[in-house]
Chain A
């Protein structure tokens, strides 16, 4: 995205008070306790084992560390993970 476009978007987000993930292609991460985790707006799977799940993002990647991780469902933009989540790392 060009700088002007970015600025414009930021401006509209501020004026209209919209959530940032709608404006910029940012992931929205929802966690329920340490048992369930939703990630929206991911760009694919980089690594998947029972201990770690690394997702590709628009910018950088997201590493989820835990135990017995299971992908309950995976779609083009969403992942739904179950298991014991111990750590969520955002790597730029």
Chain B
């Protein structure tokens, strides 16, 4: 009963009453249904007690009647607090300003986010949005209806198939779904396809144009394989010849392979070194002493510590120093030949492209002289043999 919340809200005061007939005054209070609590004697002629704020104003006639005097000692509760509070004008205006400020700031657009765009640049979308009145640092209520904006944006950006604009707090989110546009083909001139070298045709497929040769035909370098001119003399049309022509081409290779070859080998002597790594500095902690190796190779492996995706820039490093030496090795004739053929083959594949296939190889001549093997080899390679030749008006007349 003493300290209820309601009492606190209504407010109460602690008063001291002085007089000779205090008991009579108390009885008067009881008769008038005025509630008091925590009453105690303070001195011979005075008591103190608590009373509700609205009862406080009824005291005056009773005091007069009994000839007592009264002082307020303490004030409690919301009404007094509010009273004190209301006197501090600047404080209140500060609170009001703060609330208004928060409200104003939260009604502004602080950020625009564009998601889902791939080929469309964010700047482009932002520019379009700006033109429709969506930009940073403006009030939300100044913007158009977001559905309308989204529709306009979709219309203005034809590369997108759908655009959604939503408000997330103080952030405008523009979601873009792009429409996939077919890849553009490179523009080509009208052309013929001609042979790059002398060959025997093994395969011809004309996607567009007029094939002039057939399988097993022998062609010379520069011969037209697929013509870009189609139709007869009366109705002629010039197109971009397209297709695939493969043929057998011969390559003659002269190869020299020395019989003595230098080969690098490891001797098996290894020195391990260990380092502590801080950032890009390393501190050697194991494997001191000077190296006795004439030639050596180092293998480094670095282990850096990290937590999740965050690197800690601390770690350790192992270094393996392996002694190596150069040993001279003698090849016999067969080995030398296979080395030479291997070299030639990789050379051919490198120059003719991945599609090419070596169909046959023919050793024409092998000779050893002064520790070097001389070889002459003929390779038969099946490869793409067409290249383009633009059809100019001159060609046409010809």
List residues of chain A with CB under 8 Å of any chain B CB.
44-50, 68-76
Contacts and interface: CB of A to CB of B under 8 A. Distances in A.
B297 interface: no
Interface string B26-70: 110111010111111100000101000000000000000000000
Contact of B40 (A47, A71, A73, A76): A71
A24 B2 CA distance: 31
Contacts of B102: none
B1 interface: yes
B130 interface: no
Contact of B23 (A47, A68, A70): A47
B149 interface: no
B22 A73 contact: no
Given A48-B23, A48-B47, A76 B30 contact: yes
Contacts of A47: 23
Contacts of B1: 72-73
A45 B24 CA distance: 7
Contacts of A50: 40-41
B30 A75 contact: yes
Given A69-B41, A72-B38, 18 more contacts: A44-B26, A44-B27, A45-B23, A46-B23, A48-B47, A49-B41, A50-B40, A70-B38, A71-B39, A71-B40, A71-B49, A72-B2, A73-B2, A73-B37, A74-B29, A74-B39, A75-B30, A76-B30
Contact of A48 (B2, B33, B37, B41): B41
CB-CB nearest 7 A-B residue pairs: A71-B39, A50-B41, A44-B27, A70-B40, A73-B37, A45-B26, A49-B41
Nearest to B42: A50
A76 B40 CA distance: 18
Please report whether the interface of chain B is mostly helix, strand, loop or mixed according to DSSP.
Answer: mixed
Q: What class of interface size applies to chain B in its complex with A?
A: 10 to 19
Contacts of B41: 48-50, 69
Contacts of A46: 23
12 contacts: A45-B27, A48-B23, A48-B47, A50-B40, A68-B40, A70-B39, A71-B39, A72-B2, A73-B2, A73-B37, A74-B30, A74-B35
Contacts of B36: 71, 73-74
Given A73-B1, A76-B33, A48 B26 contact: yes
A52 B130 CA distance: 86
A48 B41 CA distance: 7
A48 B30 contact: no
A11 B127 CA distance: 101
B39 A48 contact: yes
Nearest to A46: B23
B26 A74 contact: yes
